[in-house]
Structure 1
Amino acid sequence: MSELPGRPGFRTVLPLVLVALLTLLAPSCRLPGDETDNAVPPPVTATEVAPERTDFSGRQPGVVNITSMRGLESTRAAGTGIVLDASGFVLTNSHVIQGSTGIEGTDTDTDRTYRARVIGYDTSQDIAVIRLTGASGLPAARFAPVSTVGIGDPVTAVGNAGGDGGEPSVVTGHVTALGQSVTARDDSDGSVERLAGMIEVSAPIKPGDSGGPLLNSAGRVIGVNTAASTALPERSPDGRERPRGYAIPADRALEIAAQIRRGEASATVHIGETAMLGVMVRDNGTEPGARVVEIVPGSPAQRAGIPVDAAIVTFGGQGVDSPSTLTGLMLRRHPGDVVRIEWAMPGGGIAAADVRLAKGPPQ
């Protein structure tokens, strides 16, 4: 994993790391806004299919190389997406687009690059849907449910390994376990999330493969590549190293994607643009609240006078006991909302202000 230590928005897993590439590929930029969506086609569903072949080791249509520009950090992140339908809806991991101020997606079947915008995301399940602007006629991926998957089945993982773009990389392996759990930690604020029900495979998934398809022997998508082990590789009975990769089952990913495309927000699903306060926060030790460690210049937080080392204790009338609580409350808001915020001053005392939230990058 290539990373910039301490950068906001970077997530790791214990003892795994999420397979997103975070590196100084090029200066960041902000992409112009996209036009209004046309009618939304019906969502894709996983269907029962019989394997067509047992030696599949290539790739099927529907793979997108994603570049996420992170203007607040002057970095770029590379990942992968899966085409849901011809009109350009693309499934990926939420950590691929986290912190993005602009997104581009290159359909690897047509080699055409599009600007993209975020339709919605679920950070608790690490799923997001973006839409490629102006796309039509794209070859879409085909899906199969996890009920068709068994331990020992051959699999192929496809993705933008290394963030190099171009023709997607292809690695193979076998299903080694089902229903596995992964603990994910956000290095920016120390918050921890747990992803359950994962497909474990022996395919050597690499940075940049996040959001890419895990294919069965028929070339159907059975999972979304999400994590890889950072521990020493296990060894098989013959003494060879056996890598471990993890994928979100296609059924669950498609269910969340359908909810996002219907525009149904929930406690975990955020729809549309993301509101921004403009603070980087961490745990406040033994005290309640989210401690402010950085203020974005020109942000609502700066205009409200929230200082570094203050601890945000309420947001919109609700208590804040941790950074993750603040993030959850923020995700229920949208740009332009006015909220009452209270914070404990570094030297003692409580201050408060009504703050109008700005437009910011996905959480």
Structure 2
Amino acid sequence: MNAFHSRSRVRRLLLPLTAGVCALALVSGCSDASSDSPSTDPTKSASAPHAASDLQSEYQAVIKNVLPSVVQIEAGNSLGSGVVYDSKGHIVTNAHVVGNERTFKVTVATGEKVEGATLVASYPEQDLAVIKLDTVPKGLKPAKFGDSDKVEVGQIVLAMGSPLGLSSSVTQGIVSALGRTVSESRAGGGSGATIANMVQTSAAINPGNSGGALVNLDSEVIGIPTLAAIDPQMGDTAAPGIGFAIPVSMVKTVADQIIKSGRVTDSGRAALNVVGRTVVDTNYQPAGVALVSVTKGGAADKAGLRVGDIITKLGDLPVTTITSLSEALASDKPGQKVTVTYLRNGAEKTAQVALGEI
């Protein structure tokens, strides 16, 4: 498991509806005059502007192709983004964007009219949800969704959404890393989801981008922007250039099941089928997860674990908190066998557990 274990934390990217105004600063720059003569190489002078023009044209083509498929969602007192999933009016977004709401106001690119929408289902465990437009407007354009297996570090990507309430905004960056496991805070209405295989990007991600589109230069959605890193040592301010998007493979898996069945029927996410709480040692440091309840017939129950046991390790990974347990499970699959190390009445024990499913 390639986990995100820095001192930074992550935050959801939902924008309070009242924060509809942002401050814009005009920044001017200056060049450093030097005595060096400019290059007179005709090849360099001709190729650089040509390459820049080609890249700019690619950007503009991608924006023209994809931006009409990115919508703004008003959910109660919050604003977020969404992506048109199909021609029937289904829109995929984050679970923390829809929150506890069941009806929404959606602004689509096909016109100024605000459309009504209704929740199909929310899946907080993966921080994804699907809503459906009450009336499908003429010209609604579904996005093209890509292939997670073809996403590579270094690829140029564009993030599209409504950051800070500025609808139809676009930022640019690259895929910085793959396979990150991150946990969302429950503060401020977050789902607390632990999500594996996240795409890390340097494209600017801001509040309001949640549920929008991370897009490659083939005009394909490769992820749903969801989290931005924050640095607690800097007063919980955003860490520039560190954002995370749910991979398109998971987006399609969850959305397809919700549209077909009205719920997620096969999460593909491993679980111990327990409820636990973080416990601390004599120095008040997190020291494990105590089992508060054990689902009868579930994975832990079948392996002999019981209420009061304190899990300290999953396989070779130490478990000190609920979050670290979720992160350890995030890369595993249902049915996979793992060794669970735990304390019972102060004595260390181990058990082989065939993992269940969320």
Aligned to 1:261, what secondary structure does the other structure show?
helix
Matches within 5 A, 1:83-94: 83-94=84-95
Indicate whether 1:109 and 2:110 are aligned. Answer: yes
1:101-123 deviation digits (Å, cap 9, x = unpaired) = 53111112333311110001211
Aligned twin of 1:244: 242
Counterpart pick for 2:72 among 37, 43, 65? 65
Superposition deviation, residue 62 in structure 1: 0.6
Aligned to 2:126, what secondary structure does the other structure show?
coil
Contact 1:146–1:250 under 8 Å retained in 2: yes
Structure 2 gaps, min length 5:
1-6, 21-53, 234-238, 268-275, 280-292, 294-306, 309-321, 323-358
Give me the whole-angstrom Cα distance separating, in 2, the residues matched to 1:125 and 1:14.
21
Worse-matched range after superposition: 241-250 or 149-158: 241-250
Distance 1:120 1:141, change over 3 A: same
Give me the whole-angstrom Cα distance separating, in 1, the residues matched to 2:262 and 2:75.
25
Contact 2:19–2:164 under 8 Å retained in 1: no
Aligned to 2:222, what secondary structure does the other structure show?
strand
Contact 1:65–1:107 under 8 Å retained in 2: yes
Superposition deviation, residue 147 in structure 1: 1.3
Aligned to 1:57, what secondary structure does the other structure show?
helix
1:58-81 deviation digits (Å, cap 9, x = unpaired) = 421311110001xxxxxx110001
Matches within 5 A, 1:1-363: 15-24=9-18, 56-58=58-60, 59=63, 60=66, 61-69=68-76, 76-100=77-101, 102-137=103-138, 138-165=140-167, 168-187=168-187, 192-231=192-231, 243-263=241-261, 265-266=263-264
Aligned to 1:180, what secondary structure does the other structure show?
strand
Superposition deviation, residue 190 in structure 1: 9.3
Q: Which has the larger radius of gyration?
A: 2
Give me the whole-angstrom Cα distance separating, in 1, the residues matched to 2:113 and 2:171.
24
Give me the whole-angstrom Cα distance separating, in 2, the residues matched to 1:221 and 1:190.
24
Give me the whole-angstrom Cα distance separating, in 2, the residues matched to 1:285 and 1:214.
35
Distance 1:285 1:177, change over 3 A: closer
Name whichever structure is richer in helix by fraction. 2
Distance 1:90 1:265, change over 3 A: closer
Superposition deviation, residue 229 in structure 1: 1.4
Aligned to 1:124, what secondary structure does the other structure show?
helix
Aligned to 1:205, what secondary structure does the other structure show?
coil
Distance 1:253 1:54, change over 3 A: farther
Give me the whole-angstrom Cα distance separating, in 2, the residues matched to 1:259 and 1:88.
16
Paired residue type of 2:255: A
Paired residue type of 2:213: P
1:82-111 deviation digits (Å, cap 9, x = unpaired) = 001222110101100012253111112333
Contact 2:102–2:119 under 8 Å retained in 1: no
Aligned to 2:197, what secondary structure does the other structure show?
strand
Q: Please, what TM-score do these two structures have when normalized by structure 1?
A: 0.56
Give me the whole-angstrom Cα distance separating, in 2, the residues matched to 1:114 and 1:68.
12
Contact 1:20–1:95 under 8 Å retained in 2: yes
Contact 2:12–2:190 under 8 Å retained in 1: no
Q: Please, what TM-score do these two structures have when normalized by structure 2?
A: 0.56
Shift >4 Å, 4+ stretches = 188-191, 266-269, 283-286
Distance 1:54 1:22, change over 3 A: same
Distance 1:191 1:210, change over 3 A: closer
Give me the whole-angstrom Cα distance separating, in 2, the residues matched to 1:285 and 1:252.
28
Superposition deviation, residue 232 in structure 1: 8.1
Paired residue type of 2:70: V
1:249-298 deviation digits (Å, cap 9, x = unpaired) = 111101100000111535788xxxxxxxxxxxxx9998xxxxxxxxxxxx
Q: Compute the RMSD of aligned alpha carbons.
A: 3.5
Distance 1:190 1:91, change over 3 A: closer
Structure 1 gaps, min length 5:
1-12, 27-52, 70-75, 234-240, 270-282, 287-312, 314-319, 325-363
Aligned twin of 1:317: none
Give me the whole-angstrom Cα distance separating, in 1, the residues matched to 2:204 and 2:13.
11
